[in-house]
């Protein structure tokens, strides 16, 4: 497994864990208040901090386990995988933002617009990391 694939796994886990924590918190606030809460900077900052802490710890562990691989530059195959995964995941972002904008036109709720755009951003990153892993696995077979 290349360091690029290990990095994709670390980021997939980090982002998944922090987003699950955020969504559960948001769901609990929605249930308690009876309405979708407004986006809050402290909650989003917490999401970012959890993601960064998990990502840093995971990358440190991956680098310590194989330092030569961690310092090696990406080869041509890895660069193509990154480009292809980024290209395909951009479609997830585009579709999500368009759907969020259409929902705003129909519902006229800025909070839903925010959460829709935010969800599409997160989903596009999750898709990108998952595609990195799939493409790395596929190229090994």
User: Lowest-confidence range among 11-25, 32-46, 60-74?
Assistant: 60-74
Instruction: Give the pLDDT confidence score for residue 86 in this predicted structure.
Output: 95
Instruction: Give the pLDDT confidence score for residue 137 in this predicted structure.
Output: 86
Within 10 Å of residue 90's Cβ, how many Cβ atoms? 13
140 band by pLDDT with thresholds 50, 70 and 90: low
User: Lowest-confidence range among 11-15, 32-36, 51-55?
Assistant: 32-36
Instruction: Give the pLDDT confidence score for residue 109 in this predicted structure.
Output: 92
Give CA–CA dist 52/44, Å, rounded.
Answer: 12
pLDDT tens digit string along 43-100?
999 999 999 999 999 999 999 998 888 888 878 888 999 999 999 999 999 999 999 9
| 8 Å CB contact between 70 and 3 | yes
Our separate counts of H helices and E strands in the chain read 5, 0
Give CA–CA dist 66/72, Å, rounded.
Answer: 10
Q: What percent of the chain lies above the pLDDT cut of 70? A: 99
Q: Is the pLDDT of residue 141 over 60?
A: no
Write out the two tokens for 2. 């290349």
Give CA–CA dist 92/22, Å, rounded.
Answer: 20
| 8 Å CB contact between 134 and 107 | no
Where along the chain do its domains lie? 3-140
């Amino acid at each position: 497994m290349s360091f690029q694939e290990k990095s994709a796994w670390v980021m997939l886990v980090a982002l998944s864990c922090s987003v699950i924590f955020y969504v559960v918190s948001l769901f609990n606030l929605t249930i308690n208040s009876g309405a979708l809460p407004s986006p809050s900077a402290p909650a989003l900052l917490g999401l970012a901090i959890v993601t960064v802490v998990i990502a840093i710890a995971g990358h440190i562990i991956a680098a310590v386990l194989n330092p030569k691989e961690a310092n090696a530059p990406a080869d041509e195959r890895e660069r193509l995988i990154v480009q292809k995964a980024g290209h395909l995941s951009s479609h997830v972002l585009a579709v999500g933002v368009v759907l969020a904008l259409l929902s705003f036109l129909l519902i006229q709720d800025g909070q839903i617009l925010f959460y829709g755009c935010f969800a599409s951003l997160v989903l596009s990153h999750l898709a990108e990391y998952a595609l990195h892993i799939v493409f790395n696995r596929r190229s090994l077979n």
